[in-house]
Amino acid sequence: MKFYNLHTHKFTNNPNVFELVNQYPWEFDAAILQYSIGIHPWYINENRLTSDLQIIEEKLKLSECLALGECGLDKRIDIPIALQIEVFEKQITLAEKYQKPLVLHLVAAFDELIEIKKRLNISVPLIIHGFSKSEQLAKQLIDNGFCLSFGKYLLRNKEMETVFKSIPNDRFFLETDTINETLEEVYEIAASCKGITVAELQKLVEVNWKRVIG
């Protein structure tokens, strides 16, 4: 049974791993087999925004492009939040047009995210990658229709084990992002948190993947 990696910046081409590799439009690599593509809020560049969005739209038409992202909001950077929201909403429009899920980077802007989801009546799946917050916030996001992906913080913050255990089995994914640890290590601790075997966890994630990612 395969391992599924919801978000990684490292293309391994491991036959045992189905990995969603993060790509940016300004440095697209056609050799990557399955990917997401989007404008991260850290890297918004107004001078190339039009061309970045055009490239994203071109790739969303392709079957190997499985999601739009990572994109989102980050209130701890210098880029004005109004500009971030503008760019984010343009990407949401594209995701809706091509019916591709969104992989989200969110820092200190969860209220804004929930407001945008409700205001735009977003229909495609929304997955917050690298979740590291409280059980209370996790429940609020789950109640508002989001999925959550876990990786680095599950490995490095003991308190996240309780948060992960509380997530419904049909609403989570696992990832490596940029960490040096393997995906198998993430699965091992996640399975331990849930009190199941790694194989049972793989099956859960596979079902979620096929339902949400396709």
Provide the annotated binding site: 70, 105, 129, 177
Structure-token match 């971030």, residue found: 84
The region, left, alpha or beta by phi > 0 then psi within -120 to 50, assigned to residue 79 is beta
**Which residues carry a binding-site annotation for a divalent metal cation?**
70, 105, 129, 177
Strands (E), the chain: 3-8, 17-23, 35-37, 65-74, 102-107, 126-128, 147-150, 172-174
Q: How far apart (Å, rounded) are the C-alpha atoms in residues 78 and 151?
A: 26
User: CA triplet 199, 200, 202: central angle to 5 degrees?
Assistant: 65
Q: Which of 149, 162, 156, 164 is nearest to 208 (CA)?
A: 149
Instruction: Report the alpha-carbon distance of residue 79 to residue 101 in Å, rounded.
Output: 25
CA angle 47–106–14, rounded 5-degree value? 90
State the DSSP H helix or E strand holding residue 162, giving kind and residue range, or none if neither: helix 160-166
